[in-house]
Each structure stands twice: as structure tokens, then as C-alpha cells.
């Protein structure tokens, strides 16, 4: 096997796009050299849970169109790989990756899409026209620029995507992303004593626990989750929150649920396997909105890697990933009553929960593990390299 050097361009390393990019990079880091670089927008450093995953190369640049355009050559100059991998079709990633690839004729260019960047968050047509079309010229990742950049997608030698919705838009190969790195193994010896794990996190040792990790963004169905825990069916359950402890939604959940809500703060990615081993379920109540329909929630895959029962809504690829309910629980979107009922069912039928969790783990190993990611990525890279060699030979 030829050892390659692959440069990953990640959008705003201070935020969560590193979650998927990190999984892709880690999957091929054993057999290939990887480097991860990107802009930092704002004052924060690299995204805290993934801060120690790589020796990052960063440039701090405001998310201003002019500033980003001027910085693209500087970021591209930091790339030393023979393959450029743009993570997201944005000015901040595809721009410098394309610049770096075209400066050296033999560099391959790959593009990865994990979100539908065309979707506007505006709730009405007038708001969309005014906010996204008329205004927003100084925002480097504004909707108008992302749509215009779509014409450059064809410059990529290969495309990878996370979901079928994105495959319909961009083509390419579906690569499901599980967690980055090692440690997501429910059979680890150090994870066998669940009571001890719970004591480590200062969590109840007997009550059933459900985990929400990350930031409660609008598409993640946060109101549904909190309302479900307030229902009688879920009254025995405790909610564990791993994320920014000062977030207003977390504070409101503590006020609503009292002692049944436990906020642990933001945790390093390496600590998530032990926390997942300590809980009984992972709700993923995505709303049925276009952005969520194109997305693959990383927390669902992390739970599946650890054989934890997932409760997810019928949004996007989640029904397929959960085997129409054979590998987890599926509920309608925005249905807190069904979510509470699913939690009650998991608590009442631990053997069935373990069976579905085990089936989820089996699917994960086949479709979204580090080995599966590496296999699909290397196949896409090899195909792109063959096509490029054929084109060069024909000239």
C-alpha cells in the first residue's frame, strides 16, 4: 500500500465540524499521514472536546468575506499533503483546498459534504430574501456564496457524503461517520462496572439514565426531549447533559427537572465511551426540517458503537440506520409522548434493549467503524487517482 499524506481542511476549527472531519482523518491515520488545518473564527481555540485529537494548523481570521478571501492563500500554503480534502463545500474549506490543489498539478482534490449548506434558517420567504439574498454580503459562508460555490464542486476528483439526501445533491460515495479514534468498545474491561462508572460521574447508581451530549441546537428537538422527561411515563428517568454547563437551555432543564437533571459540562471526546457505558439510552429527537433531514447525528453513531439503545425520530437516514426499529427505537418527530413511552419500554424490557443495542453495534462495525470508513475512503481515493492518471496519460 502506498503511504499517502492527506490534508483535511476543516471549517471553523473552534466549532463542531471537526466531529466528522476528525472521524475521517482518524480512520486513515494508521496507514497514512494526515494533517488537519483550518480557520479559527472568533476568540475561541480549537473545539474543546477534540482539542487533543491532532496537532492542528490554524489561522485566526474573522468570518468576514474579504478577510477570508485574503487568508485563503496563507491557509493553503500550510498544506503539505499530496491529497487535499475539503470538509464542507464552503468558501472557508473548498476555497483553500482548491487553491492548494491547483498550485500543484499532481495533488488530488476531495470534497466531503455532511450538511445541506443550501438550507436557509429563515422561517419565511420575505425573511429569506431580505436576510440571505439582499443582506449578508460580508459573511463568508452566507447562503448566496455557498450556492455560487456549487459550480466548483465538479472540480473535485472525488466526493464523499454522509447521507442519501446529500448524495442526491452532490453525488459521490456515502461514508457514515462513527466516532473518531479508539475506545468505543462496550466490552472494554474497564467499563464492566456500571455502578463504578456512575459514581465517577456522580450520577445515580440505580435510576435509568438517558444522555444528551453536545449543544441543543434548534434542529435537535430539544423541546421534545425536555417535555418527554416531564411526562409520567418517563418520571423514573434522569437526564444527563454533556455540554456547555452555562447554556440557557441546560439551565432551564435543570429548573424543570430538578434533581433528575445532571449537567456534566463539556467533556473530552476520549471520555465519551465511559459515559455512554454508564447510561441506559440515548435519545436523538431530531425535528423534521430540511437541515436535519440531510444530517447524520454523530451522537447516534457513538451510542450504537457502544451498544446503547438509541431513540430517534423518523428523519433523514435514521430509519435506515436503525433498521426500521430493529436496531433501536423510532418515533415520530416532535412527539414527546412517544419518546416518553419509548423510555418506559426500555426501562421495562432491558433484555430487548440489550438485543437492539447489540444489533446496532453489529451494524456500526460493518458500516461506520474506523475500518469501514478507511475502506470506503481509500476506495474513493484510489478510483480518483486512477481516473487522474488516465486523463494525464491521454493528454
Q: What is the pLDDT of residue 131?
A: 78
| 293 occurs within a structural domain | yes
Q: What is the pLDDT of residue 182?
A: 83
**Number of structural domains in the chain:** 2
DSSP assignments along 268-303, one per residue: -GGGHHHHHHH-SBEEE---SSHHHHT---HHHHHH
| 184 occurs within a structural domain | no
Do 173 and 69 sit in the same domain of this protein?
A: yes
Q: What is the CATH number of the domain that holds 142?
A: 3.40.50.2000
**Mean pLDDT in residue range 135-144:** 88
Do 144 and 166 sit in the same domain of this protein?
A: yes
Do 55 and 138 sit in the same domain of this protein?
A: yes
| 118 occurs within a structural domain | yes
Do 153 and 247 sit in the same domain of this protein?
A: no
Do 33 and 77 sit in the same domain of this protein?
A: yes
Do 354 and 377 sit in the same domain of this protein?
A: no
Q: Where are the alpha helices (DSSP H) in the chain?
A: 18-28, 65-77, 94-103, 125-128, 143-149, 164-170, 194-200, 222-229, 248-257, 272-278, 290-293, 298-305, 318-321, 336-348, 350-367, 370-394
Report pLDDT digits (tens) over 16-63.
999 999 999 999 998 899 999 999 999 999 999 999 999 999 999 999
Do 102 and 215 sit in the same domain of this protein?
A: no
Report pLDDT digits (tens) over 298-354.
999 999 999 999 999 999 999 999 999 999 999 999 999 999 999 999 999 999 999
Do 155 and 278 sit in the same domain of this protein?
A: no
Least confident span in 11-15, 178-182, 232-236, 286-290: 178-182
Residue 323 domain boundaries: 189-367
Number of C-beta neighbours around residue 192 at 10 A: 11
pTM of the model: 0.94
Do 292 and 200 sit in the same domain of this protein?
A: yes
Do 202 and 172 sit in the same domain of this protein?
A: no
Do 310 and 376 sit in the same domain of this protein?
A: no
Split at pLDDT 50, 70, 90, the class of 386 is confident
Do 271 and 376 sit in the same domain of this protein?
A: no
Amino acid at each position: 500500500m502506498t503511504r499517502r499524506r492527506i490534508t483535511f481542511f476543516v471549517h471553523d476549527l473552534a466549532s463542531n465540524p471537526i466531529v466528522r472531519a476528525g472521524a475521517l482523518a482518524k480512520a486513515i491515520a494508521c496507514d497514512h499521514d494526515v494533517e488537519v488545518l483550518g480557520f479559527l473564527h472568533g476568540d475561541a481555540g480549537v473545539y474543546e472536546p477534540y482539542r487533543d485529537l491532532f496537532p492542528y494548523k490554524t489561522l485566526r481570521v474573522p468570518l468576514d468575506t474579504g478577510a477570508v478571501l485574503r487568508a485563503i492563500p496563507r491557509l493553503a500554503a500550510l498544506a503539505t499533503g499530496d491529497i487535499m480534502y475539503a470538509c464542507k463545500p464552503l468558501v472557508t474549506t473548498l476555497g483553500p483546498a482548491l487553491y492548494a490543489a491547483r498550485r500543484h498539478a499532481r495533488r488530488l482534490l476531495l470534497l466531503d459534504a455532511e450538511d445541506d449548506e443550501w438550507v436557509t434558517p429563515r422561517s419565511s420567504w420575505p425573511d429569506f430574501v431580505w436576510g440571505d439574498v439582499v443582506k449578508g454580503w460580508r459573511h463568508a459562508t452566507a447562503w448566496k456564496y455557498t450556492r455560487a460555490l456549487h459550480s466548483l464542486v465538479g472540480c473535485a476528483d472525488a466526493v464523499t457524503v454522509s447521507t442519501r439526501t446529500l448524495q442526491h445533491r452532490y453525488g459521490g460515495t456515502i461514508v457514515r461517520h462513527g466516532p473518531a479514534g479508539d475506545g468505543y468498545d462496550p466490552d472494554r474491561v474497564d467499563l464492566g462496572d456500571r455502578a463504578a462508572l456512575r459514581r465517577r460521574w456522580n450520577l445515580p447508581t440505580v435510576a435509568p439514565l438517558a444522555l444528551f451530549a453536545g449543544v441543543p441546537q434548534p434542529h435537535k428537538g430539544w423541546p421534545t426531549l425536555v417535555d418527554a422527561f416531564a411526562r409520567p411515563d418517563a418520571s423514573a428517568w434522569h437526564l444527563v447533559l454533556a455540554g456547555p454547563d452555562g447554556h440557557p437551555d441546560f439551565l432551564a432543564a435543570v429548573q424543570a427537572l430538578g434533581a433528575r437533571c445532571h449537567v456534566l459540562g463539556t467533556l473530552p471526546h476520549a471520555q465519551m465511551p465511559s459515559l455512554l457505558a454508564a447510561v441506559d439510552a440515548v435519545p436523538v429527537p431530531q425535528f423534521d426540517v430540511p437541515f436535519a433531514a440531510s444530517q447524520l447525528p454523530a451522537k447516534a453513531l457513538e451510542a450504537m458503537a457502544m451498544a446503547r439503545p438509541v431513540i430517534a425520530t423518523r428523519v433523514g437516514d435514521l430509519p435506515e440506520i436503525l433498521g426500521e426499529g430493529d436496531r433501536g427505537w423510532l418515533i415520530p418527530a416532535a412527539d414527546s409522548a412517544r419518546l416518553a413511552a419509548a423510555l418506559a419500554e426500555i426501562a421495562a424490557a432491558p433484555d430487548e434493549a440489550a438485543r437492539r443495542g447489540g444489533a446496532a453495534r453489529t451494524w456500526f462495525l460493518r458500516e461506520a467503524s474506523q475500518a469501514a470508513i478507511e475502506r470506503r475512503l481509500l476506495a474513493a481515493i484510489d478510483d480518483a487517482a486512477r481516473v487522474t492518471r488516465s486523463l494525464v496519460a491521454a493528454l
